């Protein structure tokens, strides 16, 4: 874990952001996301200096598009933002989390016995 990742992790773990649980180094498809909140499908990526190179930006964009197909949104943060503007960075994550909470509360509510596609949900016994 890089220093900026560690700094951010200490501020988002243990439900410190909007009462949401974030996981670190979370796998989606063939990729690993720096931090992820399954409840609102929010990914946080911390980008170091290497991510400014054109070939890396292209790779990041392709990777993000694949992951977005799973309904996951991204917040991209630079090392500089974490190191120099931590409070603003945390507010950026809070805003994205709030927005995702609102959107997830208003989309596809499940009714007991039915899934979004109409198949039956089995009760665990």
- Measure Cα distances from 15 to 33, 68, 71, 72, 118 in Å: 18, 24, 21, 19, 33
For residues 60 and 21, give the distance between their C-alpha atoms in angstroms, rounded to a whole number: 24
The pLDDT > 90 percentage for the chain reads 68
Closest CA to 96 of 122, 72, 112, 60: 72
The phi, psi pair for 92, rounded to 5°, reads -60, -40
Architecture in CATH of 3-105: 3-Layer(aba) Sandwich (3.40)
Contact 75, 106 (CB under 8 A): no
Interval 37-60: pLDDT, tens: 999 999 999 988 776 778 888 998
Q: What are the extents of the domains in the chain? A: 3-105
The answer to pTM > 0.85 is no
CB 1 within 8 A of CB 12: no
The Cα 117–Cα 98 span in angstroms is 27
CA–CA gap between residue 52 and residue 22 (Å, rounded): 26
Instruction: Convert the pLDDT of each residue in 79-105 to its tens digit.
Output: 999 999 999 999 999 999 999 887 766
Are the C-beta atoms of 77 and 89 separated by less than 8 Å?
yes
């Amino acid at each position: 874990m890089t220093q900026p990742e560690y700094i951010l992790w200490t501020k988002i773990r243990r439900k410190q952001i909007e009462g949401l649980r974030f996981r670190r180094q979370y796998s989606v498809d063939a990729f690993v996301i720096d931090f992820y909140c399954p409840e609102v499908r929010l990914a946080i990526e911390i980008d170091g200096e290497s991510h400014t190179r054109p070939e890396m930006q292209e790779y990041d964009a392709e990777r993000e598009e694949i992951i977005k197909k799973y309904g996951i949104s991204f917040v991209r943060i630079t090392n500089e933002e974490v190191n120099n503007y931590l409070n603003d960075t945390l507010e950026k994550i809070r805003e994205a989390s709030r927005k995702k909470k609102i959107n997830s509360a208003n989309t596809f509510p499940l009714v007991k016995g039915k899934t979004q596609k109409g198949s039956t949900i089995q009760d665990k016994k």
